[in-house]
Amino acid sequence: MNLLISLSAGERIIDVLSSESVNKRLRISVQGGGCSGYRYGFDLEENVNEDDTVISLTPEGSPRPFEIVIDCMSITFLEGSTLDYSSDEWDSKFFISNPNAVSTCGCGSSFSV
């Protein structure tokens, strides 16, 4: 699995998970729906399914490693993508730059292939 994680996304994941139980992971999924056909999902979860891909990262200076979990169906849509995070005075969100997307909606939360 080739998923890049930006520094800002990694820092935000660490911030979020530091207030959660040690067993929590960030699950990234691709689901049907959204104005362009598919939409990205981001959830905190303890469960890892048998067919999930788990990406374990230990950033330098991090108090503990963190894990990202992606189900087997979503992984094909995310190959070669970059997980990023942005924040300003109006909005903060994770977003994915996906080279497999043919088009995206205006807000960037849904795409088509």
Give the 3-state DSSP-derived string for 94-107, with helices as H, strands as E and coil as C. EEEECCCCCEECCC
Query: Residue 110 — very low, low, confident or very high, per pLDDT cuts 50/70/90?
Result: low
Domain 4-108 has CATH 2.60.300.12: yes
| Statement: residue 18 has pLDDT above 90 | no
CB-CB neighbours of 112 under 10 Å: 14
Report residue 33 as tokens. Answer: 């729906």
pTM of the model: 0.84
CA count, 13 A, side-chain hemisphere, 23: 4
- For residues 79 and 71, what is the distance between their CA atoms, to the nearest angstrom? 12
Q: Which residue has the higher pLDDT, 84 or 32?
A: 84
